Amino acid sequence: MALVVAGVAVTMFTLFQLSDYYAEPARTELSGTVLLDDHDARLVSTAWVEPSGKEVAEPSDSGCPRRVDVGQSSRNADAWQECLFSNGYRYAVYYHPPSRFWRFQWTEAGILTLASAALGGLAVRRTLRRPG
- Flag whether the pTM goes above 0.85: no
Q: Assess whether pLDDT exceeds 90 at residue 70.
A: no
Whether 129 maps to a domain, the answer reads no
pLDDT of residue 89: 95
Instruction: Give the three-state DSSP class for 39.
Output: coil
Number of domains in the chain: 1
Whether 45 maps to a domain, the answer reads yes
Q: How far apart are CA 36 and CA 30, in angstroms?
A: 8
Kindly state the helix (H) or strand (E) to which residue 48 belongs, with its residue range. strand 42-49
Q: Assess whether pLDDT exceeds 90 at residue 112.
A: yes
Whether 117 maps to a domain, the answer reads yes
Identify the bridge partners of residue 27 per DSSP, sorted by sequence position: 94
pLDDT of residue 132: 64
